[in-house]
Chain A
Amino acid sequence: MKILIVDDSKAMRMIVMRHLRQAGFGHHALDEAGNGVEALASVTASRPDLILCDWNMPEMNGLEFLTSLRARSVDVPFGFVTTESSPEMRATATSAGAAFLIAKPFTVEMFQTALAPYLN
């Protein structure tokens, strides 16, 4: 399977990839994008099976990216990895079509729990 990691911080993308490996998902193909615009192009080009996306990003934020995907009838499983973890933000994410939300700072166990239904 192919996982697209979207975050404007390269350091955070590295940490997410490390957590994926430590969670036992390192055998999946990993791709990166730095914002929603880049991620939309990546989705069109490579059709990921799962998207892990930050919320606050320049150019196009995570919520706008998710909304754009659903408007184009792209129903790939989508999870936020973000500091935006209030009940209101979680409700907004769910309403927009997100499958889960992992709050920063996160643990390997949080990745295992959230991603297992989509990767195992």
Chain B
Amino acid sequence: MRIETETLEQVVTEVLATMTGVVASPVCDARASTVRRSVAACIHLTGAYTGAVVITMPEELGRRIAASMFAADPSALSDGEVMDAVGEIANMVAGSVRSALPMPNAISLPSVSEGTGLRMDVPGSVAVATTAFVVDGDIFDVVLSARAGEA
């Protein structure tokens, strides 16, 4: 099952614009830098399609997105609130993407990590669509993977 990168881009930009007012512009051949402190959120899909959606972004960008969701000052938010917000963005992206994938499939609750040098991988799966975006100079990326053999 193939999903077009354009579909993933459209889903991500729509989720961010609709739910946070954040405008994300797709960029080519880029990945989120994990040199700085980052946040990564993962949603697993299981069923007729088995894979995952992983979003990785600089913590500062995650904090700004969370601030839009909480209608709060970024510095006033806890790390847990930032992780909650990024996890919910991943949840909505996965929920929207799955309609373009073989059904039935179920989505998991979000798993979210935060740290420096962070890169979240799903063992046994391969990336089938990778896209990156820029928001006010910060780059984040979204990877849709499938279990090896399904890609």
Chain A residues packing against B (C-beta within 8 Å): 8-12, 14-15, 18, 56-58, 82-86, 88, 104-107
Contacts and interface: CB of A to CB of B under 8 A. Distances in A.
Interface residues of B, number: 24
Q: B-side binding surface: helix, strand, loop or mixed?
A: helix
Contacts, number: 58
Interface string B108-134: 110000000000000000000000000
Residue among B91, B96, B103 with max Cβ neighbours from chain A (10 Å): B91
B75 interface: no
Contacts of A82: 95
Interface of B: 14-15, 18-19, 66, 69-71, 81, 84-85, 87-88, 91-92, 94-96, 99, 103-104, 107-109
Given A11-B69, A12-B88, A88 B18 contact: no
Which residue among B85, B95, B99 has the maximum number of chain A CB atoms within 10 Å of its CB?
B95
Main SS at interface, chain A: loop
Given A9-B84, A12-B88, A83-B96, A105 B14 contact: yes
A12 B81 CA distance: 11
Nearest to B16: A105
B37 to A, nearest CB: 19
B109 A56 contact: yes
Nearest to B85: A11
Given A18-B71, A83-B91, A106-B19, 15 more contacts: A9-B84, A9-B91, A11-B69, A11-B85, A14-B69, A15-B69, A57-B109, A58-B109, A83-B94, A86-B103, A104-B91, A105-B14, A105-B15, A105-B19, A107-B18
